[in-house]
């Protein structure tokens, strides 16, 4: 079965939805999303969106803070463009109906997070992502040109390879014609053809055992783009959030950096406030520094967690500023107003991804990418807090303008054969999938985490290769399933992170390797695959 659209959008987070609303005024749009349309990293975003909306702040300072956090690898021109379009993005979200927290004088309330030298985080209490999604999805659902396909899993991008041509990584003119998509409700592969495709499939936190990301964040877009031979950049820069709730049933629930922005202090189990020993910005140092300091405390002291103490604030303050975090901590037995919260770092954000320009253009024609799946050059070696929702919305807007022009130049799309799964059957050994997924996530956590070494990376590479061989063997014989595709994608993402980490023979930003503890001038470059 084949579906035809002008614009195909893979993913229904902040990037996919805001792009769809813009291109929807210029043609027929399909949004393909693998679970219900709400499920995404965007849904769980807490702190907010960084934007200069107050006279006492300046674009220049936001640019400088972003570049400082990025440890020499940001593209300054890209930073300048995205930061200067921040205020407009906030207005555009408000025009779609998003309601952000205001002060008593009616102006936006601005929070503070690590690495920012001003209060510039626009937010909706501590559930900013949920509010953005709610407003965007309402508009999407009432738009006459947009159809949302839920429980549809994008498997492969369609390129010349699928119409019988030989495609190598050196070919400069690969085109994207759409995607093969698995309709999970009826177990059928549908061919979605489109003039322009946007990858907006989000991040890949699930490749690590402990992550703040929901289960959908399996790096599918990165893996699909890699298989389609797109160029990827900076995959070694995985951001670990310093403070996820430490509790065996809490699933690494995030405790927003905004809690530290309100004066929350990090203590070790002896009650010592340790961050000033590591950096003069203490708890509000950029995230890589705070996560590494916690890792150092845990390893040197042999402890399982540290404490985040905001007990100097009243119950009323905490309940009104952090209602979701307050409620969730209470459900696990911690009253933030009286108890320090046990926290540990967890994998949070993928700074690298499919390389694009500042209009979302990838190295493949008619394939754009936006949001966490992409790598524009904004984040460099370490993302500044709350710059990712900003990037998702700005790039979606710019990509939409590019897509409308591109679509007008596409006359015809070739005939693409249906997905061929002849010779495959429903296998009996499904346990291989769950076992290999668990094993991969543990390997990545133990060997490719906050602190790396040449030896650990070699081990991770060996184990990942074995998992790859077993899984590919299984895949060749098996009928399509989303679980199996996710496992293949996770393995591809793990390979890309490990390979990129091995290519960088220095420590910089989020990539810290004990064999090369310093940054080096001659390693100040992107890692391209």
Binding site for ligand SIN (CB under 6 A): 46-47, 256-258, 349, 385-386, 388
Using rule CB under 6 A, residue 10 touches ligand FAD = yes
Tokens of 243: 């403070």
Q: What is the rounded distance in angstroms from the CA atom of residue 425 to the CA atom of residue 401?
A: 44
Residue 248 structure tokens = 């065996």
Calpha distance 27→407 (Å, rounded)? 9
The one segment of 29-37, 78-86, 398-406, 495-503 that binds ligand FAD by CB under 6 A: 29-37
371 binds, among ligand SIN, ligand FAD, none (CB under 5 to 8 A by kind): ligand FAD
For residue 148, what are the β-bridge partners?
31
Site for ligand FAD in 307-346 (CB under 6 A): none
Report yes or no: 62 and 53 within 8 Å, Cβ to Cβ. Answer: no
Residue 14 interacting entry, from ligand SIN, ligand FAD, none, C-beta within 5 to 8 Å by type? ligand FAD
Q: CB count, 10 Å around CB of 454?
A: 14
Residue whose C-alpha is closest to residue 346's, from 443, 246, 215, 223: 246
Q: Which does 242 bind (CB under 5 to 8 A by kind): ligand SIN, ligand FAD, none?
A: none
Task: Kindly state the tokens that stand for 321.
Answer: 């500023």
| From 82, 308, 392, 457, residue interacting with ligand FAD (rule: CB under 6 A) | 392
Contact flag: residue 66 with ligand FAD (CB under 6 A): no
Q: Is 92 in the site for ligand FAD (CB under 6 A)?
A: no
Residue 414 to residue 178: CA distance in whole angstroms: 11
12 binds ligand FAD (CB under 6 A): yes
> Tokens standing for 380?
């460099």
**Any idea how long the chain is?**
529
Binds ligand FAD by CB under 6 A, chosen from 11, 178, 340, 377: 11
Structure tokens at 102: 């205001």
218, 489 contact by CB (below 8 A): yes
Please confirm, yes or no, whether 401 is among the known catalytic residues.
no
Q: Give the dihedral sign, CA 203/206/211/216.
A: positive
Residue closest to 479 by CA, chosen among 444, 430, 513, 442: 430
User: What's the closest the beta carbon of residue 154 comes to ligand FAD, in angstroms?
Assistant: 3
**132-171 mask for ligand FAD (x: CB under 6 A)?**
---------------------xx-----------------
42 binds ligand FAD, rule: CB under 6 A: yes
Q: Which does 202 bind (CB under 5 to 8 A by kind): ligand SIN, ligand FAD, none?
A: ligand FAD
16 binds, among ligand SIN, ligand FAD, none (CB under 5 to 8 A by kind): ligand FAD
Q: How many whole angstroms separate alpha carbon 126 and alpha carbon 336? A: 14
Question: Applying CB under 6 A, which part among 136-144, 225-233, 383-391, 471-479 lies near ligand FAD?
Answer: 383-391
Q: Does 178 bind ligand FAD (CB under 6 A)?
A: no
Which span sits near ligand FAD by CB under 6 A: 34-42, 97-105, 501-509, 514-522?
Answer: 34-42
Backbone phi, psi, residue 499, to 5°: -60, -45
DSSP track, 60-84? HHHHHHHHHHTTT-S-HHHHHHHHH
Comparison of 18 and 386: residue with beta carbon closer to ligand SIN: 386
Q: Which is nearer to ligand FAD, 369 or 461 (CB)?
A: 369
The distance of closest approach from Cβ of residue 518 to ligand FAD in the complex, given in angstroms and rounded to an integer, is 29
252-267 CB burial, b ≥16 within 10 A, e <16: bbbbbbbbbbbebbbb
- Directed axis angle between helix 387-408 and helix 76-84, to 10°? 90
Listed in order, strand segments (DSSP E) in 200-332 are 232-233, 238-245, 265-267, 306-309
Among 44, 100, 237, 512, binds ligand FAD (CB under 6 A): 44
Map the footprint of ligand FAD across residues 201-230, applying CB under 6 A: 201-203, 212-213, 216-217, 220
500 binds, among ligand SIN, ligand FAD, none (CB under 5 to 8 A by kind): none
Would strands 29-32 and 49-50 be described as parallel, antiparallel, or unpaired? unpaired
Nearest residue (beta carbon) to ligand SIN: 47
φ/ψ of 241, rounded to 5, equals -75, 135
Question: Could you tell me the smallest distance in angstroms from the CB atom of residue 254 to ligand FAD?
Answer: 4
CB of residue 257 to ligand SIN, shortest distance in Å: 3
47 counts as binding ligand FAD under rule CB under 6 A = yes
Which residues fall within 8 angstroms of residue 253, CB to CB, at 6 or more apart?
Answer: 212, 244, 245, 247, 328
Beta bridge partners of 266: 308
Q: Which of 350, 478, 380, 396 has the alpha carbon at shortest distance from 24? A: 396
Residues 344-363 that bind ligand FAD (CB under 6 A): 349
List 112, 260, 287, 437, catalytic entry: 287
Looking at beta carbons only, is 197 or 239 nearer to ligand SIN? Answer: 239
Q: Min. distance of Cβ 38 from ligand FAD in angstroms?
A: 8
- Which of ligand FAD, ligand SIN, none does 448 bind, CB closer than 5 to 8 A by kind? none
Q: Which does 352 bind (CB under 5 to 8 A by kind): ligand FAD, ligand SIN, none?
A: none
Could you tell me the two tokens for 192? 């979605």
What's the half-sphere exposure (Cβ side, CA atoms, 13 Å) at 287? 32
Site of interaction with ligand FAD (CB under 6 A): 10-16, 32-35, 39-42, 44-49, 128-129, 153-154, 200-203, 212-213, 216-217, 220, 254, 349, 371-373, 386-389, 392
Active site positions, annotated:
287
């Amino acid at each position: 079965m084949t579906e035809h659209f002008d614009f195909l959008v893979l993913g229904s987070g902040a990037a996919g939805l805001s792009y769809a609303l813009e291109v929807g005024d210029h043609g027929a749009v399909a949004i393909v999303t693998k679970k219900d349309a709400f499920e995404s990293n965007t849904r769980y975003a807490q702190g907010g969106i960084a934007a200069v909306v107050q006279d006492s702040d300046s674009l220049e300072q936001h640019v400088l803070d972003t570049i400082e956090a990025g440890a020499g690898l940001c593209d300054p021109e890209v930073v300048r463009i995205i930061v200067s379009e921040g205020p407009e993005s906030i207005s555009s979200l408000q025009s779609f109906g998003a309601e952000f927290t205001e002060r008593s004088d009616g102006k936006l309330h601005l929070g503070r997070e690590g690495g920012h030298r001003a209060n510039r985080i626009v937010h909706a209490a501590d559930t900013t992502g949920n509010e953005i999604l709610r407003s965007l999805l309402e508009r999407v659902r009432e738009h006459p040109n947009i159809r949302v396909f839920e429980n549809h899993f994008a498997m492969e991008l369609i390129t010349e390879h699928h119409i019988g041509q030989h495609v190598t990584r050196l070919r400069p003119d690969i085109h994207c014609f759409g995607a093969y998509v698995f309709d999970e409700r009826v177990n059928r592969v549908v061919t979605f053809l489109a003039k322009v495709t946007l990858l907006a499939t989000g991040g890949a936190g699930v490749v690590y055992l402990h992550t703040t990301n929901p289960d959908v964040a399996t790096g599918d877009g990165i893996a699909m783009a890699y298989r389609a031979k797109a160029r990827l950049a900076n995959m070694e820069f995985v951001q670990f959030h310093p403070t996820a709730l430490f509790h065996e049933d809490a699933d690494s629930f995030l405790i927003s950096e905004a809690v530290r922005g309100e004066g929350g202090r990090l203590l070790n189990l002896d009650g010592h406030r340790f961050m000033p020993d590591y950096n003069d910005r203490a708890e509000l140092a950029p995230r890589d520094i705070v996560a590494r300091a916690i890792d150092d405390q845990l390893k040197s002291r042999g402890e399982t967690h540290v404490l985040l103490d905001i007990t100097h604030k009243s119950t009323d303050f905490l309940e009104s500023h952090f209602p979701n975090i307050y409620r969730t901590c209470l459900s696990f037995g911690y009253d933030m107003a009286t108890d320090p919260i046990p926290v540990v770092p967890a994998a949070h954000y993928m700074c690298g991804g499919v390389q694009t320009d500042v209009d979302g253009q990838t190295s493949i024609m008619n394939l754009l990418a936006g949001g966490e799946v992409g790598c524009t050059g904004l984040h460099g070696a370490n993302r500044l807090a709350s710059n990712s929702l900003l990037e998702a919305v700005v790039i979606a807007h710019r990509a939409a303008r590019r897509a409308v022009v591109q679509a007008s130049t596409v006359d015809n799309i070739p005939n693409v054969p249906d997905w061929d799964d002849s010779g495959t059957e429903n296998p009996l050994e499904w346990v291989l999938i769950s076992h290999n997924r668990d094993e991969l996530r543990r390997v990545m956590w133990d060997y490719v985490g906050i602190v790396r070494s040449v030896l650990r990376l070699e081990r991770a590479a060996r184990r990942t290769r074995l998992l790859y061989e077993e899984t590919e063997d299984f895949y060749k014989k098996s009928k399509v399933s989303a679980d199996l595709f996710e496992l293949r994608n996770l393995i591809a993402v793990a390979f890309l992170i490990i390979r990129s980490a091995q290519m960088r023979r220095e420590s910089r930003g989020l990539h810290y390797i004990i064999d090369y503890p310093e940054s080096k001038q001659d390693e100040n470059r992107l890692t391209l695959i």
